[in-house]
Amino acid sequence: MARSTHMKTSMAEVTPDRIVVRGLDLADELIGRTTTAEFFYVLLTGSRPSATQARILDACIVAIGEHGLVPSVQAARMTYACAPEAFQGAVAAGLLGAGSVVLGSSETTARALKQIVDLAADDDLDGAAKSVLQQLKDQGAAAPGVGHPVHKAGDPRAARLLEFTESLGAQGVHTSALHAMTRAVPLVYGRELPLNVSGAIPAALLDVGFPLRAMKGVPLVGRTMSLVAHLLEEMDSPMGFGLASAAEAAVTYEP
């Protein structure tokens, strides 16, 4: 990448009497006039979302926001137990594990869906899906967007999201690619795996023009809200050290 001596930003300009965010006056045009999901979209794209885009983004943030004592929550709670003066550090600890397996898997699925759509010839999504999955399998990667250790019969969040996007008339080629990928999973991996929420989220968002490069940000935003709530509960009903003790008790030392 060429090094530039000129730095610029389109995010915001702050003056003594005005704050402009993505070309919009924060006080006059955004505060009290936009939702959190709409503001997130404005920040990312510089444009206001349509009503459908806003509703789908909002639904996706809610869908991924909370899922019990998952590793990110346990990391945050145990960090807070050790350093209660560093609330922000505990939140950060919970977010640091957002990778290709947990939380960040929406981004992985989004890239696979885009590959399928780009590869499909004469609308042969099934053939493209099988080819993309075979590449992933050959690389030793799991099939993205399917399977769940708890929701073995099907992820209710995924079902509801797809039901919601269908009700809005917002399903497009990426949702079709998602279904093609689900059909191809047993052909490539040898077993059927149900769709999960990290498959439904990128399909729903890509179909309404959400930027793929920002896909990981959706679960990060949703889970940040949840982590703050878990830490608030941790203050009143501590379990951080208990989680650490439970882990220690569950592990056998073998010299």
Q: Would you state the pLDDT for residue 67?
A: 94
Residue 27: domain span = 13-49
Q: Would you state the pLDDT for residue 182?
A: 97
Q: Would you state the pLDDT for residue 149?
A: 84
Same domain, 109 and 205: yes
Q: Would you state the pLDDT for residue 38?
A: 98
Q: Is residue 230 part of a domain?
A: no
Q: Kindly report, residue by residue over 129-144, the tens digit of the pLDDT.
A: 999 999 999 999 999 9
Amino acid at 224: T
Q: Would you state the pLDDT for residue 15?
A: 98
Q: Would you state the pLDDT for residue 1?
A: 58
Same domain, 132 and 204: yes
Q: Facing residues of 20 across strands?
A: 13, 25
Among the residues of 25-83, which ranges form H helices? 36-45, 51-65, 71-82
Q: Is residue 195 part of a domain?
A: yes
Q: Would you state the pLDDT for residue 5?
A: 80
Q: Could you say which residues of the chain have pLDDT below 50?
A: none
Residues 132 and 202: their CA atoms lie apart, in Å, by: 16
Total-model pTM? 0.94
Tokens encoding 93: 């600890």
CB atoms within 10 A of CB 57: 25
The CATH code of the domain that includes 197 is 1.10.230.10
Q: Is residue 228 part of a domain?
A: no
Same domain, 112 and 38: no
Q: Which of 204, 198, 199, 200 is nearest to 169 (CA)?
A: 204
Q: Is residue 8 part of a domain?
A: no
Name the domain count of the chain: 2
Three-state SS at 11: coil
